[in-house]
Structure 1
Amino acid sequence: MPVKPMPLSPERIDAIATLAARLFAGGGTLDAVVRAVREANPDLKTVTGAMAAVMAEEPFREEAAFDLHLVDGNNHCWAITDKPALATGVVIAQREEED
């Protein structure tokens, strides 16, 4: 039986961002961070990673090592949204390290 999605409340977005930030700070790879966020949030339809440089949309939230984008997957194709009430997932967009 599929797990019913929970809304992305401000507290839940904070928890996702905190987990990702902690893992990146500890040297985690983008794949490892995405996997951990997905495991901690099995009800989300979409949890994926990208490099920030390829994201054309403004992030919902900016963190030190990554940008957090919200995904609306309620229709056939998913889209980036700035409305947490519509969000069914996230994109974790890792930033390139400054030289």
Structure 2
Amino acid sequence: MTITHDQVSSLTSLLVALPRGENPVAAVRSSFPEMSVSRCSADDMRDETPFRRVGDYDVFLVDTSNHCWRIIDEPATATGVILAMHS
């Protein structure tokens, strides 16, 4: 299942509402059970361009349809997100 623009908006609102420093993965998985979610340090993604920055996080869209995930920039083909936290 791909990510809709409404889901991107809802994800943005969810991340903004979380207390600073709280791990967002559980909340995102609860709100979007069909979406693959991973979290890492922003340093781990330094060579990639985020889809969007929300609060303490860079949000990367990923296509998880194959064995290896691919960073992409189009929600219509994204099946998950990586949340890269800035320290």
Same fold (TM over 0.5): yes
Cα separation, 2, equivalents of 1:28 and 1:52: 14
Cα separation, 1, equivalents of 2:86 and 2:28: 17
SS in 1 for 2:26: helix
Q: Offset of 1:28 from its aligned partner? A: 4.4
Q: Which residue identity does 2:34 align to in structure 1? A: D
Q: Tell me if 1:29 matches 2:22.
A: yes
Task: Could you list the structure 1 runs, at least 4 aligned residues long, displaced by more than 6 angstroms after superposition.
Answer: none
User: Could you say which structure has the higher strand fraction?
Assistant: 2
Q: Offset of 1:81 from its aligned partner? A: 0.7
Structure 1: stretches of 5+ with no match in the other structure: none
Q: How many residues align?
A: 86
Quote the RMSD (CA, aligned, Å). Answer: 1.3
Superimposed CA distance per residue, residues 4-33 of structure 1 (whole angstroms, 9 cap, x where no aligned partner): x2x31222101012101211xx23422xx1
Percent identity between the two aligned chains: 37
Superimposed CA distance per residue, residues 12-57 of structure 1 (whole angstroms, 9 cap, x where no aligned partner): 101012101211xx23422xx111101111111x201011121021
In the alignment, which residue of structure 2 is the partner of 1:18? 13
Structure 2: stretches of 5+ with no match in the other structure: none
Instruction: Indicate conservation of the 8 Å contact 2:58/2:85, yes or no.
Output: yes
Greater relative CO, 1 or 2 (CA 8 Å, sep 6+):
2
Q: Which has the larger radius of gyration?
A: 1
TM-score by length of 2: 0.88
In the alignment, which residue of structure 1 is the partner of 2:53? 62
TM-score by length of 1: 0.79
